[in-house]
Amino acid sequence: MLSPIVISGGVLGGCCKNTVEIYAEAQYLVFYSINPPYEKLVSQKGQRGPAEGGGMAATHGTPTGDLNAHGITPSGDVYWNQDAATLIELAVTRKEGMFSAHRALVTETGERTGRSPNDKFIVDEATTSEDINWGDVNVSTDLDTFTKMRAKVVEYLSAQDTLFVQDLYCGADFSEALPIRVINQNAWHNAFARNMFIRPDAERLASHSPEFTVMHAPHFEADAEQDGLNSHCFVIVNYQAKEVIIGGTRYAGEIKKSIFSVMNLILPKKGILPMHCSANTTGENTAIFFGLSGTGKTTLSADPNRALIGDDEHGWGANGVFNFEGGCYAKLIDLSEEDEPEIFGTTRKFGTVLENIVMDEGGVPDFADVSKTQNTRGSYPIEFIENRTLDSKGGHPQNVIFLTCDAFGVLPPISRLTPAQAAYHFISGYTAKVAGTEIGVKEPQATFSACFGEPFMPMHPGVYADLLSGKMAEHGAKAWLINTGWSGGAYGVGNRMKIRYTRAMLNAAMDGDLDNVEFVLDPRFGFEVPVECPNVPEDVLQPRNTWTDAAQYDATADKLAAMFNENFARYEAGVSPEVNAAAPRSMA
């Protein structure tokens, strides 16, 4: 193992570099000196079996615990709390992945290229059973099933010739952070976990004691019939045992989303709102962006004029907003340097993990190629975004943004909401399932996901909505609904909203440039829609004007309004008359 390169000063490669660039480029040189050029590497398809290891059993790094405490008796090497550079080196050596031309690690996840919501379960046990909103999303399993599958996972991990362990935190506000342990059989998944969660300093690592543990066995497949599961894949959360077991899927996103779900049960009991959102700030002006995968959370929060707090998961507590994560997990489909320069730049850094991308013969990623999946992903530490807050925290938000990808093409690209409308649309969580983010989804489908993250919200949506409404009222936050979906027609006819228009509208809203412009009331949805916005064509702001057939627009809009009302019927009894009155109405 090579020792780390230490560089004093700020110059490498003939030009001025910031700290992250120095680190990344130094590690690049280390790797290039011990790994063959790209063209000598052979692409490794995602295998069902584990990658090859080797060598005599040993412990690497400084253990901050004992795997025997989890019932795991390692048969081979155990790597504790290794940095990303070491893990990526091991991943390539073990043929778990390969380098791109720019030295990002490229991996494949096999048949599971997105989350597997039908294979996620929560153990129904006494300490949390009354807190869980049981149903089609939060599906229960019994303790016997968990115990049986846990024993199989422990036995499987114990038999591996190499294991990788990370002791990390979820939550940048350490007064509320959750200490976690992630145990992986693959180096690249361990690198993913290190990218995505909060990496403790030496002092916090020395005192780390996990309050939740993820045991990750992606190459172990269940026997669905024998084990009482839906498929060979499983993600099971046991809140009483404070454990997550994952098997049969190599899609790395299951690791981070399982811990997100855990936070979403723990924090509301403390009066803290957990949010599926991105966030950024100017230092004095903070904004949060709610939205499902593919609606623009990551893209829109990476703004050159605003410092990034985080791109996906946050808490809103007594001191403001804080990131749950230490990295970003960006969708890369159709990524371009022109539209998203900061995210594009991360794909060319050593330390980034790219999932399921296609490369040309020279090893350069082709982000327009979706032959493997439309859910191509990049995981990178948040330090790779130069324009960020140093502590991953921000003040109380002045603006709350609801992002939707309207597949019907009828919602305005920007609307201002009343407090009642904000509660209604937060609970509704309308968007489209964007192709590739779940197994079996090939094209956008209209869907409603409470709190813009229902698959990750174990409690009733009303719990989170009440917390949001209270915090918005306390801190005077404005609410906006942004449609990043289609304009000029429904999916297949119209076109996706141009990102430069969306950015211009967002900046105008957050900077106060819309405070004094004229608004018109949308007669169907009740939104206030601006008639003008800097750097945006006026006809784009009124969606009916973008359709060639106004009658077809009206029919489609009425259809969507009816879908809103049908969905919200299950929540009517638990909300105020004002929130119910915010529902859209048909104009037919």
Q: What is the 3-class SS of 109-133, one letter each residue?
A: CCCCCCECHHHEEEECCCCCCCCCC
Annotated catalytic residue: which of 189, 377, 396, 478?
Answer: 377
* Catalytic (active site) residue 115: yes
Alpha-carbon span 122 to 195, nearest angstrom: 26
Q: Exposed, middle or buried, 531 (CB in 10 Å: 0-12/13-18/19+)?
A: exposed
Phi, then psi, of 393 in degrees rounded to 5: -135, 160
Euclidean distance between the first and the last CA atom of the chain, given in angstroms as a whole number: 71
Cα 342 to chain centroid distance, Å, stands at 17
Annotated catalytic residue: which of 298, 376, 389, 487?
Answer: 298
* Catalytic (active site) residue 293: yes
* Catalytic (active site) residue 112: no
* Catalytic (active site) residue 94: no
Annotated catalytic residue: which of 17, 199, 276, 524?
Answer: 276
Angle between helices 187-196 and 84-93 (to 10 degrees): 160
* Catalytic (active site) residue 257: yes
Long-range contacts of residues 131-135, Cβ cutoff 8 Å, at least 24 apart = 131/265, 131/458, 131/459, 132/265, 132/458, 132/459, 133/457, 133/458, 133/459, 133/460, 133/461
Annotated catalytic residue: which of 312, 389, 392, 447?
Answer: 312
Q: Exposed, middle or buried, 326 (CB in 10 Å: 0-12/13-18/19+)?
A: buried
Annotated catalytic residue: which of 86, 100, 286, 293?
Answer: 293
* Catalytic (active site) residue 559: no
Annotated catalytic residue: which of 17, 70, 112, 115?
Answer: 115
Any residues with CB less than 8 A from the CB of 495 and at least 6 apart, and which?
Answer: 486, 487, 488, 489
* Catalytic (active site) residue 19: no
The answer to whether residues 486 and 407 touch, using CB atoms and an 8 Å cutoff, is yes
Buried b (16+ CB within 10 A) or exposed e, 469-485: bebbeeeebbbbbbbbb
Q: Which amino acid is at 228?
A: G
Which structure tokens are listed for 296? 């623009």
Question: In Å, what is the CA distance from 23 to each residue of 9, 86, 151, 341?
Answer: 12, 13, 41, 20
Annotated catalytic residue: which of 17, 120, 297, 503?
Answer: 297
Any residues with CB less than 8 A from the CB of 332 and at least 6 apart, and which?
Answer: 343, 347, 354, 357, 365, 367, 376, 377, 378
Annotated catalytic residue: which of 208, 257, 349, 393?
Answer: 257
Give counts: helices (H), strands (E), the chain. Answer: 16, 33
CA-based R_g, the chain, Å: 24
Q: Which of 372, 314, 405, 428 is nearest to 112 (CA)?
A: 372
The answer to whether residues 500 and 485 touch, using CB atoms and an 8 Å cutoff, is no
* Catalytic (active site) residue 297: yes
Alpha-carbon span 80 to 322, nearest angstrom: 27
Q: Which residue has tokens 């399982």?
A: 258
Alpha-carbon span 21 to 79, nearest angstrom: 26
The answer to whether residues 195 and 326 touch, using CB atoms and an 8 Å cutoff, is yes
The residues carrying an active-site annotation are: 115, 257, 276, 293, 297-298, 312, 377
